[in-house]
Chains A and B, each alone.
Chain A
Amino acid sequence: AQSVTQLGSHVSVSEGALVLLRCNYSSSVPPYLFWYVQYPNQGLQLLLKYTSAATLVKGINGFEAEFKKSETSFHLTKPSAHMSDAAEYFCAVSSSLTGANNLFFGTGTRLTVIP
């Protein structure tokens, strides 16, 4: 079974400061890991994904995440926050097993960027 835990339902950062959103996963098989962003009244948009290639993954809008198997973590970072980064961020895991396609989402972290 797969699950993810996102520490911190709300994170506030100042504009220009480092963004760090935490995600820890649990998986009985090698996982695929994803970060999605949700802007108000919109669907989920993929930021980046880890699918067993490079452990440091770069995504859109300057975000990146590092897969650390020893820590079962996949934290999302951005060196310098922008006002437009304010949104809800979801970490998700799926199984690498054939035929197991569904995503298991975390509870989300709402990012607020303070001017």
Chain B
Amino acid sequence: EPEVTQTPSHQVTQMGQEVILRCVPISNHLYFYWYRQILGQKVEFLVSFYNNEISEKSEIFDDQFSVERPDGSNFTLKIRSTKLEDSAMYFCASSVGPSSYEQYFGPGTRLTVT
């Protein structure tokens, strides 16, 4: 069964460093998402991406964040200058269509900022 994959599973970085989290969505999916879950808190929407552009973003997704689909298969989330409060589990998801369609989630990347 096709699945969303994410690398790395765990990333440790120092405050102020740039990180890139990578995702490979399911191949025939058209909508891509990033969510994050701070330890002990709810899963929060960051950004959705469709047709090579951002379709929605939350207040969390500020100028420090960017997304890219560089080669038609990968979907990346970049954090330019990490802060301690960026420590969280980051989930990538993809779906065939919008809204009512199931979003398939990857296993997540745990980002630890020290």
The DSSP consensus for interface residues of chain A is loop
Q: Is the CB of B55 within 8 A of A105?
A: no
Residue contacts A-B, CB under 8 angstroms, 12 given: A32-B100, A43-B91, A43-B106, A44-B43, A90-B42, A96-B99, A99-B98, A100-B99, A101-B48, A102-B48, A104-B45, A105-B43
The DSSP consensus for interface residues of chain B is strand
Instruction: State the B residues within 8 Å of A (CB).
Output: 4, 31, 33, 35, 41-45, 48, 50, 55-56, 58, 91, 93, 95, 98-100, 102-108
Q: Is the CB of A90 within 8 A of B48?
A: no
A90 contacts across to B, CB distance below 8 A: 42-43
How many chain A residues touch B (CB < 8 A): the figure is 29
Residue A107 at the chain B interface, CB threshold 8 Å: yes
Near B by CB (< 8 A), chain A positions 48-70 give 49, 51-52
Q: How many A-B residue pairs have CB under 8 A?
A: 70
A44 to B91, CA, bound (A): 9
Residue A94 at the chain B interface, CB threshold 8 Å: yes
Given contacts A49-B102, A94-B99, A101-B98, contact A106 B42 (CB under 8 A): yes
A102 to B98, CA, bound (A): 8
A103 to B55, CA, bound (A): 13
From B91, which residue of chain A is reached at the shortest CB distance?
A43
